[in-house]
Amino acid sequence: MPNRTIVPQHRTNYNYQEILGFRVNKTSWRKIAEYYGRKHPNAMNWYNRQTEKLEIKHAVKLRTKAPTRKKKESTEIVTHPRYEVRRGDRYGEYEMTEYSFIDGREVTTGLIIEWFDKFCDHLWTWNPVPEFLVEMIEETYFKDFIIVLEPRKHGKTICLLCLFAFWVIELKKTLIVIVSDHSAQKRIFFGLRHVMKKPNVRAYYGDIMDADNAGDFTIMFNPILQERHLDPFIRVASIEGTWIGSHAEWAHQEDVQQKIALSQSTRDRMIDNYDDNLQDIADKNTASATRKGELDYYGELFKRGWRPLHRKAVEFSKGDFPNLNDFIFETFEYDETEYQDPVGLTKEYLAGVEYKTLDCPNFSFLKLMIRYWRNPDSFFTQYQNEAVSRRSKFFDGTDLEVIKPFTDGRLNGHRYFFIDPAFSVEKSKTGSFVAMLIIAIVRHEIIIEDIIIRRMSPEELDDWGVLLHTQYDPNESFIENDYAQITTRSQSYQKLLNLRGMGLFINRGFGTKDQRIQSLYGYLFRSQVKIYDTAKDRIHFMRERRGYNKDAADRKSHYDGLDILSSAVRIL
């Protein structure tokens, strides 16, 4: 049978979906014209006629189906949905509407939360809304170059997902979200698509997505709306993916650094990617993150003018995190081994602390402290969002063993007490960081029985010093000489100097602070240093060891625990 040239007409009954392999809609006319363009010179003219007819058809529908509004007694404008959408209705059946929830009103935080309540009610379930989430909406929506550092599982991602939906559905603005990997792409992309496919969203706004172009983690506008935009209005891309060249109106970086970048080349590659591509990709730029150490990617963003919105899960105004003796445990046995599970905190500990949490209903103070007990390092990064590395830097490869207290008296006669107040004449009235160390050396092993690293006033220093001296009854005690000079000049705070066997030492006699701390490497590498699990500020000391980095010129940590240990080892 000879080949025939088929010229499509606008009233033809040809099954183009079967012939071409795709559904025929407005965006398909050009494909059809190109298919037949080689065979008939009038194909492009036919394409233009079809496009013009479709545009007129949509314009007439939008004019004739105006929103239905009525006023309540409070004069609040209520816009009723146009369609009655049922679950399972094929996407693309409902025309776009001209409805606007804002309806000419000024966008405020309260109005955004109203939108969340109406259209994201499957995600947004807080009532009342916690203050820290209200602040997060204000900072993220109304400001630029903000890094959100909120605790894990406190609603950060849900709040941002709802804000993304408001941005693209209500405001019709384009968005690109940069994530760390494929699993994060799926979580954000399908979360947004689920909001857009909700029946009440479709009933109110119509089908604003182009159903034929929603693959590859990219969503296009409805063809009528897409004509105003070159970019897709939602793109979720991996940091290592193909997103260069995008020009969205809002670019958000969602926890793009998941691992600790130990090598300088890895850190340089991430920040070079930002300098070359990310910083100019959008008019509005935000990020959300979990800190991965002082030298992480976000620390570099702070140097480039980004500002943190940092909220911790718990903050202490009095006292500090509990030690092992402050927990109440339940004991259970499994496989002939006895285990302990924390179930509460002692009344004595609770009476001595004052704290503030973020009022997240999922995390009480007790639950947070149990998380802290289970994995302190993870707690400080995931819930406090502090720049603490999970691995050592300078002390990488060394070992600090946590042991149970000896009960056989082997440390009697080998115990020493060291105090380094870090006071100056100016700080002697207001308080400063103080390090106190109870240490014993037995058979070439350095045993840390107790350690205190916290901010104290001189009066508190005297009280703590006398308490520890009475509790441990050391053979000898030493206090840094600068404190002795202050107390001598002020004729106050003399309790410590009057204790039996209190001597003086001078830190500077052992070199600079960095030189003193780095001298501990050999002892830690040979596993000579051990610490009791009951030491009061054991976690703080272990964080100092993990976080110390000799190359960090801008570090803010004092590392007083490492410093006093190095002085004690030198003296003994």
Specify the fold of 109-310.
Answer: Rossmann fold (3.40.50)
Q: Which residues pair with 453 in a beta bridge?
A: 435
**For the chain, domain boundaries:** 16-64, 109-310, 314-382, 401-571
Under the banding of pLDDT at 50, 70 and 90, the label for residue 1 is very low
Whether domain 401-571 has CATH 3.30.420.280? yes
pTM of the model: 0.67
Closest alpha carbon to 260 in 368, 381, 343: 381
Neighbour count for residue 447 (Cβ, 10 Å): 22
Burial class (CB in 10 A: 0-12, 13-18, 19+), 27: middle
Residue 215 has pLDDT above 60, yes or no: no
- What's phi and psi for 83, nearest 5 deg? -105, 160
Q: What is the pLDDT of residue 493?
A: 52
Q: CA-to-CA distance for 149 and 388, rounded, in angstroms?
A: 14
Within 65-155, where are the H helices?
109-119, 131-142
Closest alpha carbon to 199 in 286, 280, 89: 89
- Find out whether 278 and 316 touch, Cβ atoms under 8 Å: no
Q: What is the pLDDT of residue 369?
A: 94
Interval 445-474: pLDDT, tens: 899 999 999 888 777 888 888 889 888 988
Average pLDDT rounded to a whole number, residues 46-67: 47
Interval 416-446: pLDDT, tens: 999 888 654 444 444 577 899 999 988 888 9
Written as six digits, the tokens of 422 are: 């870090």
- Find out whether 43 and 61 touch, Cβ atoms under 8 Å: no
Helices 131-142 and 109-119 cross at an angle (nearest 10°) of 110
Q: CA-to-CA distance for 225 and 101, rounded, in angstroms?
A: 18
Closest alpha carbon to 100 in 206, 205, 224, 241: 205
Q: What is the pLDDT of residue 300?
A: 86
Interval 518-542: pLDDT, tens: 889 888 888 899 999 888 888 888 8
Residue bearing the bigger pLDDT, 393 or 207: 207
